[in-house]
Structure 1
């Protein structure tokens, strides 16, 4: 039974990846607005129904790995080490996100494409902002609940907002100037270091 479940999961992941790759090709070739869900499904050699089993809407393909990143951060907070202080936990959570979930977006060109398209497609701008705010709030709430004696809700939101905002801004700047995947990751980590340095100086 476990082997059967493993095969199904691998097939599901292959289908999801095929949909992402097909969407990226079509968005690059035809422009985001000119591509339909049916075209993406056809290019991936699956049905439209299968597409909607993986993604709620066309724009969600561009954010395919966002939930993975949030899950990684939440897991680090939930499984924090005994005695580990909250700044270290947040840095480790962000580092896990950079190391383990951004690689696919960067190497496939999905991250760069998302930035380019968001600049010209209002629906993507709105979706990106919605995801950004929701993710930031979820991580901040988890950090507050993990360190209630040290961080109230305002402090947790401020710390997470500073970190996520800095990393997001650095990522955007690095992608816009055409940095390599490794260069983008360096920019992310530089942003993290700057936030923690400013926090230490303020403290």
Structure 2
């Protein structure tokens, strides 16, 4: 029986302060984008609303559109942890679907809440946001596929792993686009549950891979 995973060490004061500043920027940007529109909101506006300097903004985010994807790297890390922590009988598709139920994902509404709805709206309507989303998705797919191939070297070659991860991310994106397409944002818990079911069903035919 594997030893229990030790608890994560508590972040230090500097890390907590940095996390608070980052959260304030994300919340300020979300409010301003919603109220004033993406194009009418500047980096300086976001920084001022978060009560920090513009220079500090750029120590957290490289551009205005990146504020819309504050947890994208964490979701990639969760997918990789799901692969690393797989059960002996987990199929490659299983570990990807299980990542959606990882505690780190469930604890946050970034993928399924109001900010997700705003992000999907801006991806549809703002070329810069859509371009950034596609770039991040491609980078994520490549990284996750590399780990999946390494975890199942006798079953998946690099092309198979890339195709499976592409199917997974496509299913997630397609389901969210439909779930969050409306004036009223549904309850995040309902979105999360429906997303997991839809992605699981979409990948069901690939469970033997």
Give the TM-score normalised by structure 2.
Answer: 0.86
The answer on whether the counterparts of 1:174 and 1:183 sit within 8 Å (CA) in structure 2 is no
Which residue of 157, 161, 164 corresponds with 1:159? 164
Equivalent residue number for residue 203 of structure 2: 196
Is residue 65–residue 101 contact of structure 1 (8 Å, CA) maintained in 2? no
1:14 paired with 2:20, answer: yes
Question: CA-atom RMSD, angstroms?
Answer: 2.3
Equivalent position of 1:183 in the other structure: 190
Out of 97, 101, 123, the residue aligned to residue 95 of structure 1 is: 101
Contact in 1 for aligned 2:83/2:95 (Cα 8 Å) = yes
TM-score, length-scaled by structure 1: 0.88
Structure 1 residue 95: Cα displacement: 2.8
- Give the distance between the partners of 1:82 and 1:69, measured in 2 at CA: 23
Alpha-carbon distance in structure 1 between the residues aligned to 2:97 and 2:116: 22
Structure 2 unaligned segments of length 5 or more: list them. Answer: 1-8
Shift of 1:98: 8.0
Q: Quick one: which of 138, 143, 149 aligns to 1:133?
A: 138
Segments of 5+ residues of structure 1 without an aligned counterpart are none
Distance 1:97 1:160, change over 3 A: farther
Query: Does the C-alpha gap of structure 1 residues 20 and 8 become closer, same or farther in structure 2, counting only changes over 3 Å?
Result: same
Contact 2:28 2:50 (8 Å CA) reproduced: yes
For residues 91-142 of structure 1, the C-alpha deviation after alignment (integer angstroms, 9 at most, x for no partner) is 22233288436524534x2111111122221101111111111111211111
Count, aligned residues: 199
Partner of 2:4: none
CA distance, structure 2, for counterparts of residue 90 and residue 36 of structure 1: 37
Choose between structure 1 and 2 for higher RCO, CA contacts under 8 A separated by at least 6 residues: 2
Q: Does 1:112 align with 2:117?
A: yes
2:148 alignment counterpart: 143
Partner Cα separation in structure 2 for residue 187 and residue 151 of structure 1: 29
Larger % of helix: which?
A: 1
**Equivalent in the alignment of 1:69:** 75
